[in-house]
Copies of this chain bind each other. A is one copy, B any other.
Amino acid sequence: MQVQKEEVRNKILEVAETEFMKNGFQGTSMRKISKLANVNLGNIYNYFSNKDDILRTVLQPFFKEVDKIVQVHSDIEDIRNFFSIEHQQEIIEKHVEFITKHRQQIYLLLYKSQGSSLELFRDYYTDKETEHFLILFQRLKQVFPNANTSVSDFFIHICASWEINIFGEIVSHDVSTDDIRKFIEEYVTFSINGWKALILE
């Protein structure tokens, strides 16, 4: 009984996730979920309180980890290491691991959640990331007093947004892990030297 129940619940979530990804939140009807999951329409409401709840539940495992990732940036103990390739690699490795794990959810959240209560997640996350970039800059100023930290807020915002965009692109394109790794190296080289040029001269 308990097993059967979990089965139905999971079937609903599974079907919903697929459909949301294919046709978006607004483009997916409860009827369709009901039919594809082979679960009586009304019965769905014994498992979830409404359509939005299904989406939130689909994304639950993702949200549980997303905060951890966001906090990674704060743990900058030695800012001097920040520009080291190793450190960057490490950070991004964690991100990519995260991305690979939640590929589908990220895609759903970034591109297919319009009309749901989560449609503003992208902005929320961009703002969070921007905050971390700014904290990073304050630390930098303390350690390198001569650094030019007058970079415009909007550029920082753009960079934060870029990161999320990168996540989006990765999850949109089914890039192989190897390609991701190659890409990371390029990205790190690219941005470290970009930042250096902006800040240190």
Contact residues of A with B, CB < 8 Å? 24, 26-27, 111-112, 114-115, 123, 151-152, 154-155, 157-158, 161-162, 165-166, 169, 172-173, 175, 179-180, 182-183, 186-187, 189-198
Contacts and interface: CB of A to CB of B under 8 A. Distances in A.
B189 A198 contact: yes
User: Chain A interface secondary structure, helix, strand, loop or mixed?
Assistant: helix
A193 to B, nearest CB: 4
A193 B183 contact: no
B165 A183 contact: no
Q: How many copies of the chain does the oligomer comprise?
A: 4
A50 to B, nearest CB: 15
Contacts of A197: 189-190, 192-193
